[in-house]
A and B are shown apart, each in its own frame.
Chain A
Amino acid sequence: GAVVSQHPSWVICKSGTSVKIECRSLDFQATTMFWYRQFPKQSLMLMATSNEGSKATYEQGVEKDKFLINHASLTLSTLTVTSAHPEDSSFYICSAISGREYEQFFGPGTRLTVL
């Protein structure tokens, strides 16, 4: 089956620093990748849609200058949380689809804790 990996699986950082999270499709080419955020006991909220070679599309309320997304290849998308603050602490999950397939394959998630 299709496998999506994320790195790191968890990260703790100081307030004001930047953190980069990688999302990779290991055995397929992902035309589109998605970034979600999940706060404790809440549902997944879509942050942005990332297409290879083009700018990401951000959902309303998500600051594009704070959450930088790069989708440089068909197997890699990165999310950089710039100048992270404690309120950015959350579970960040990426997913990927291939071509016209409807199923999204989720990565294992990255737990970010900002002190």
Chain B
Amino acid sequence: GQNIDQPTEMTATEGAIVQINCTYQTSGFNGLFWYQQHAGEAPTFLSYNVLDGLEEKGRFSSFLSRSKGYSYLLLKELQMKDSASYLCAVSVGGGADGLTFGKGTHLIIQP
């Protein structure tokens, strides 16, 4: 089976930095995605990593280590609107396959 683990909940302070970790054990690997999901809404795409290393996009960065089955999402200069669930997902079979999602990390931003 597929296994994707991430913390259930995290709390951080406005203006600070937070790192959300994700570990995965899957039968295949064709890339790792991070999505943001506000309550009652569909996920929105944040990042995609298929090679080892860090991908930076504005306040958000994502890191991947395939040998360790590990990724993290780094959020800088936190804003109140960043309060949401962050979903780690793996493409197991390739581009035409559905994604396998972790249970998501609920991030709470405090003033």
Q: Which residues of B contact A31 (CB under 8 A)?
A: 96
Are A102 and B99 closer than 8 Å at their CB atoms?
A: no
Q: Which residues of B contact A111 (CB under 8 A)?
A: 40
Set of chain A residues within 8 Å of B87, measured between Cβ atoms:
43-44
Find chain B residues with CB under 8 A from A36 CB: 98
Taken together as a complex, chains A and B put the C-alpha atoms of A107 and B99 apart, in Å, by 15
Decide if the interface of chain B is mainly helix, strand, loop or mixed: loop
Cβ-based interface call for B48 (8 A):
yes
Whether A13 is near chain B, meaning CB under 8 Å from some CB there, is no
Contact B31 A93 (CB under 8 A): no
Task: Give the B interface residue count (CB, 8 A).
Answer: 25
Q: How many interface residues does chain A have, given as a range?
A: 20 to 34
Query: Is B42 touching A93 in the complex (CB atoms < 8 A)?
Result: yes
Question: Across the two chains, which residue of chain B brings its CB closest to A60?
Answer: B1
Known: A43-B102, A43-B103, A44-B87. A49 touches B97 (CB 8 A): yes
Q: Which residue of B lies closest to A99 (CB)?
A: B95
Also in contact, A104 and B42, with CB within 8 A (given A43-B87, A44-B87): no
The answer to whether A108 and B95 touch across the interface, beta carbons within 8 angstroms, is: no
**Complex interface residues of chain A between 26 and 51 (CB less than 8 A to chain B):** 31-32, 34, 36, 42-46, 49, 51
